[in-house]
Structure 1
C-alpha cells in the first residue's frame, strides 16, 4: 500500500529546503545581461548541476559519513542544529535571494553554477535533507528510489519556475519572493527541531512515543 502521507511529507521537506521560489530573483540577476534566447539553456544547466550534486549526496552521503566512523544519530543532531541556524538566517537575517545576489556581485563566477545551482538550488539544507531522508539502515533501495524521484520532481518544478521567471517576478516581485523565503525558513526550523529529536531518539538518549505524524528520522528499534 502506498504511504501517501509519507510521500507528501517528503515532497514538502524537499520543496522547503530547495526553495524554488527563492531562486527566482537569483535567476533574474544572473540573466540580467544575458540574451533572452540563452535564458532557457542557463536554467537547464543550473538545475542539471544541482541535480547531480544532490544525487551524489543522496547516493553516497551516508556511506562517506559512516566510512569516517560517524553515527547517523550524531549526524542528525548536528545537521538539525545547522538546519536550524540556516532557518534563522532565512527568517531574521538577510533574505536568501538578497544574500546570494550580493555574493554573486562580489564574485565573478559562472552564474549558472554559482550562485544559482549552488547554493540557491542545491543548498546546504537540501544536501543534508537528502542524506537524512535516505537512511540506508531504515529505507530500502526502493524507498530511496522514490525519494530520488520526489527530488527530481521538485527540481523539475524548479526548472519550470525558472523558465517562467520573468512573468512570475512581475506577479510577486522581489518583496514577495523574500516573504515566501522567510515562511520557508519557519517550516525549515520545524524540520530542524524534528531532526534533532530523531537523532536523540536513535541514540537512545530520549524516548519519544510513536505518533501518527512520524518524525523526519524514525526512532531506532528497541534492542
Structure 2
C-alpha cells in the first residue's frame, strides 16, 4: 500500500494545476467558452497519455538501453532538484509558460499539454514512482490513480480558470508555484539519496 497523500503531493507539485491556470488563460484568450472547454479536455487527455506512457514503459526503455535504474534515479533526482530550484528562485512556472504561450500562440498541445501539464518533472516522477523493484503492480496502479486524480483537478481548474484567476491572480499563482518547488526539492533529494544508496548496494 502506497502513501496516498505523499504520492498525491508529489504529483501535485510536479504537475502544478494552479500554475497551469494563467497558462491556460493566456493560450485560450482568443477562444469562446466552447473552444476553451475543448482545449482543456484535449490538453488533459494528451498529458494523461504521455504520463501513462512514462509510467508503463519508462522503466522498460531504461532496461532496453542498459541504464540501471539507480543511475536514472540519481539523474532524475538531480534534474528534479534543478527543476525545483528554477521554480523557487527563477521565473515561476506560470510566468515562464505564459511567456511561451504568448510567443508561440499555440493551443492544446504546446505549451499546455507539454510542458505545462506533462512537463519533464512529471515524466520523471512517473518513472521513479512506479519502479518495478520497489512497487508491485497494485501499488503502481494506486500511484497512477493519484496521478490521474491530479490531472482531473487540473482539468477542473482549467474549466473554471477565469474564476480562479480572478481570485488568486498571477501573483498568487506564482507564490503557490514556488511553494510547490520547495516540496519538489525535498522529493528530489530523497530520490537522489535513495538512488545513491541502492547503487552502492549493487
Residue in structure 2 matching 1:106, options 92, 95, 103: 103
Contact 2:27 2:105 in 1 (8 A): no
2:170 is the alignment partner of 1:180: no
Q: Which residue of 2 aligns with 1:13?
A: 10
Q: Which residue of 1 aligns with 2:73?
A: 76
User: What stretches of structure 1 of length at least 5 have no aligned partner?
Assistant: 206-219
Give the C-alpha shift of residue 99 in structure 1. Answer: 1.1
2:26 is the alignment partner of 1:35: no
1:85-135 CA-to-partner distances (Å, cap 9, x unmatched) read 1111111111111111212233243x1111111101101000000101000
Q: What is the alpha-carbon distance in structure 2 between the residues aligned to residue 144 and residue 173 of structure 1?
A: 36
Residue in structure 2 matching 1:129, options 125, 128, 149: 125
Q: Which residue of 2 aligns with 1:203?
A: 199
1:119-160 CA-to-partner distances (Å, cap 9, x unmatched) read 011010000001010001221111111111111111111111
Residue in structure 1 matching 2:53, options 45, 53, 56: 56
Q: Higher helix share goes to which structure?
A: 2
Runs ≥4 residues deviating over 6 A: none
Q: Report the aligned-residue RMSD.
A: 1.3
SS of the aligned residue for 1:99 comes to: helix
The number of residues matched between the two structures is 202
Q: What is the alpha-carbon distance in structure 1 between the residues aligned to residue 94 and residue 148 of structure 2?
A: 22
Residue in structure 2 matching 1:161, options 157, 164, 167: 157
SS of the aligned residue for 2:133 comes to: coil
Residue in structure 2 matching 1:192, options 178, 188, 191: 188
Q: What is the alpha-carbon distance in structure 2 between the residues aligned to residue 9 and residue 181 of structure 1?
A: 18
Q: Which residue of 1 aligns with 2:146?
A: 150
Give the C-alpha shift of residue 195 in structure 1. Answer: 0.8
* TM-score (norm: length of structure 1): 0.87
* TM-score (norm: length of structure 2): 0.96
